[in-house]
Structure 1
Amino acid sequence: MSVAKSILLFAVAALFEIGGAWLVWQGVREHRGWLWAGFGVIALGVYGFVATLQPDANFGRILAAYGGVFVAGSLAWGMVMDGFRPDRWDYTGAAICLLGVGVIMYAPRS
């Protein structure tokens, strides 16, 4: 599996996990109803399946790397969906996390 396909899988996983969590948030915290929360729970379940499609067989490695994708993706989601305005420290932290993803997932191993 190519690095590009792996990155695409991380992006799709982020869409489902962050989107699912956002839907639950909207349903419960913003009082939009249990239907929103229910769709969020379904999206979170889909995320779990998407994560299994990564080529590496190590659950810990995949989830650790995905953590960095989640950090950056959450900031981007907040910008698009909620009008959140990250500051330079948010951007710096997200960049550090994505660098970590690169090291964890794509560093050469013997």
Structure 2
Amino acid sequence: MEIIRSLSIFILAGLCEIGGGYLIWLWLKDGKPHWFGLMGSIILIAYGVVATWQTANFGRTYATYGGVFIVMALIWAWKVDGFKPDKYDVIGATIALVGVCIIIYAPRHP
């Protein structure tokens, strides 16, 4: 159950970071209204808060989040921007995800 909770927090944090960054991108690069940037900023602040809900230490949490972010960014680009990941994107994301699962969930002895 702890792994499901942890994965849920990583996914929520990823949605906040990617969603907030995307709104700022649309504001600055695509000429959307200023409120896009404001909302993006607020959502990015929420990302910083959500990440603290993990039980692991800062370094391990953020190292793991990096791999989760890779996978989520590719999914976001595919579903929102119409970017089609190729086999190398999928292979790289899979390797990153396996690596971060080892970092965060490997049993450790005190």
- Matching residue of 1:35: 35
Q: Distance in 2 between matches of 1:61 and 1:74?
A: 20
Task: Quote how far apart the aligned CAs of 1:33 are.
Answer: 2.2
Equivalent position SS for 1:17: helix
Task: Quote how far apart the aligned CAs of 1:43 are.
Answer: 0.6
Q: Distance in 1 between matches of 2:65 and 2:42?
A: 19
One-letter code aligned to 1:46: A
- Aligned CA-pair RMSD: 0.9
Q: Distance in 2 between matches of 1:37 and 1:95?
A: 32
Unaligned segments of structure 2, at least 5 residues: none
Query: Map of 1:1-110 to 2, 5 A cutoff?
Result: 2-56=2-56, 58-110=57-109
Equivalent position SS for 1:29: helix
Tell me the TM-score normalized by structure 1: 0.96
Equivalent position SS for 1:105: helix
Count of aligned positions: 109
One-letter code aligned to 2:52: T
Task: Quote how far apart the aligned CAs of 1:14 are.
Answer: 0.4
1:62-97 Cα deviation digits (max 9, x unpaired): 001000011110000011111111110101111011
Unaligned segments of structure 1, at least 5 residues: none
* Runs of 4+ displaced beyond 4 Å: none
Q: Distance in 1 between matches of 2:7 and 2:100?
A: 10
Q: Distance in 2 between matches of 1:38 and 1:105?
A: 33
What fraction of aligned residue pairs are identical, expressed as a percent?
Answer: 45
One-letter code aligned to 2:30: E
